[in-house]
Chains A and B, each alone.
Chain A
Amino acid sequence: MDITLNNYLAVAAILFAIGLMGVIMRRNLLIIYMSLEMMLQAANLTFVAFSRFNGHLDGQVFVFFVITVAAAEVSVGLALIVALYRLKRTTQVQDLTTLKF
């Protein structure tokens, strides 16, 4: 059996769905953050697969930018989590209800 574009796209979709499940299901902020990263990586896989099958390199350039921005985003997000932990002594989302109506 040969590998088609649909195989790659399906794997990326499954990875994205797992990340989505993690964001909704977990209550630890750090795990939620990891799941968000996973969704970004699933989008990256889609980009690279389309870039290969379409014969363009522009998709790979986009993935390059996405990886860079994701790294910057992770550093800022983890700094926010550390600041929050200093203030509230917790990283569980159900304890962070200051903005709850």
Chain B
Amino acid sequence: MNALFFWLFSGGMIVCALAVILNRNAVASALCFTFTIVFMAGLFVMLSAFFLAAVQILVTAGAVMVLFLFIIMLLDLTAMEHMPRQKIWMGCSLLLALGFLLIVAKTLEATPMGSTTISSLSTPGVPMRMTVRPQVLADGRTIETTLTQSQWDRYDDTHRIGRLLFRTNTANGRTSYVAPFEITSLLILVATIGVIVLCKQDERRRPSPREEIIREAPPVEPKEPSLKN
């Protein structure tokens, strides 16, 4: 059952990915890419990464691909669909991809844990990483209670990732992810401002299309009144 779903999801993913790069129509490519992402979310579920599967569908298949489709339709790329393919570049890319796959295959042969089967792993899959749970009382004192393995096993995937992201206990030398999380928020702020700056039309430099038409039209010749006389 597990294997069936693996082959279904991975096969669908690879077929859709090939359709992305081979399709002439950009909108069809974007839709195929969306299906690639959905199949990958299925693979994430099989690896018991439920939170990431949900995030993958919400963020990548939802927000990012809508943005792509919006830009493709905004730019109107239909004129470029009938250009001839470049055979030499197709050959070069195929050669490069096959070389890459050869290197990866050689590496996978030598991976020591490569033949570990997924059914041999324990069911929760993730051992406890944090033994001490700090707890702030109502009067401001902090007490630390020990989290037992059975408590940790009861948590679901999202809960565990949240605890790993925001834990403040780094006594065992493991780093906390609070600082990268905050820096990511700063990065998103910078990206937002950058997008606004990039997309803002400079009204002084670029005339509107109507003005361009008026400027490029030939000047109207005044009628010669001398002909009539």
Contact = CB atoms under 8 A, between A and B. Distances in A.
B21 A82 contact: no
A76 B20 contact: no
Given A6-B111, A45-B40, A82-B71, 6 more contacts: A2-B119, A3-B117, A22-B20, A30-B68, A45-B43, A91-B77
B118 A52 contact: yes
A15 B195 CA distance: 29
B126 A56 contact: yes
Interface string B42-69: 0110111101100110011001100110
B114 A4 contact: yes
Contacts, number: 234
Interface string A1-28: 1111111111101111111111111111
B108 A57 contact: no
Q: Considering the complex of A and B, which 4 residue pairs feature the smallest CB-CB distances, nearest first? A: A22-B21, A24-B93, A17-B97, A72-B191
B143 interface: no
Interface in A11-63: 11, 13-28, 30-31, 33-35, 37-38, 41, 44-45, 48-49, 51-58, 60-61, 63
Contacts of B199: 79, 82-83
Nearest to B17: A18
Binding site secondary structure of chain A: helix
B121 interface: yes
Contacts of A9: 104, 108, 111, 114
Interface string B107-136: 010010111111101100111010000000
Binding site secondary structure of chain B: helix
Interface of A: 1-11, 13-28, 30-31, 33-35, 37-38, 41, 44-45, 48-49, 51-58, 60-61, 63-65, 67-76, 78-83, 85-86, 91-92
Contact of A38 (B20, B92, B129, B180): B20
B18 to A, nearest CB: 6
B187 A72 contact: yes
Interface in B1-58: 2-3, 6, 10, 13-14, 17-18, 20-21, 26, 29-30, 33, 36-37, 40, 43-44, 46-49, 51-52, 55-56
Nearest to B184: A68
A21 B71 contact: no
Contacts of B43: 8, 11, 45, 48
Contact of B47 (A8, A35, A69): A8
Contacts of A52: 47-49, 118, 121, 125
